[in-house]
Amino acid sequence: MTTAAVNYLQRDASLPDMGSSGLGPRTMTARDVDAVMACDDVAALGQMSAYSRSYFATAGGIVFGAVGAVAGILIGRRHLAVVSAALAGASTLVTIEARRRARQWDAVVQARLTALALNHD
């Protein structure tokens, strides 16, 4: 678990754990949405939002795969180029899925922060 995840959970243990992995946050459930919408701790919600926005999954694999593919072509190693291109493609798909899930988490957090701001007046 990363430090950011621990921080928001330490501030408000009733908040759900998004999980932490290179594959991104876990899939959000209705129970998770209810827990976030019940939270009144703006600081914890802010930390949770920051954590959800920090997911970039295996983006390094995209760069390494693309560079490896180009290098493989330039040095005439077709096998290296094909494997590297496959790595880049797989990393891209994982990153897209991780960002999709993270955006769902952040959307709910932002909705709760907006509701708290509107009710604060």
CA atoms within 13 Å, Cβ hemisphere of 58: 17
Please report the pLDDT score of residue 22 as a whole number: 64
Whether the pLDDT of residue 67 is over 90: the answer is: yes
User: pLDDT category, 87, cuts 50, 70, 90?
Assistant: very high
Whether the pLDDT of residue 1 is over 60: the answer is: no
Write down how long the chain is. 121
Write out pLDDT tens, residues 24-61.
788 999 999 999 999 999 999 999 999 888 877 678 88
Please report the pLDDT score of residue 80 as a whole number: 94
Please report the pLDDT score of residue 59 as a whole number: 80
Q: What is the mean pLDDT of residues 12-16?
A: 90
Q: Return the minimum-mean-pLDDT range out of 40-49, 58-67, 85-94.
A: 58-67
Please report the pLDDT score of residue 54 as a whole number: 81
Beta-carbon contacts of residue 103 (< 8 Å; ≥ 6 apart):
52
Whether the pLDDT of residue 79 is over 80: the answer is: yes
Provide DSSP, the chain: --HHHHHHHHH-TTSPP----TT-SPPP-HHHHHHHHH---HHHHHHHHHHHHT--TTHHHHHHHHHHHHHHHHTT-HHHHHHHHHHHHHHHHHHHHHHHHHHHHHHHHHHHHHHHHHHH-
Higher-pLDDT residue of 118 and 3 is 118
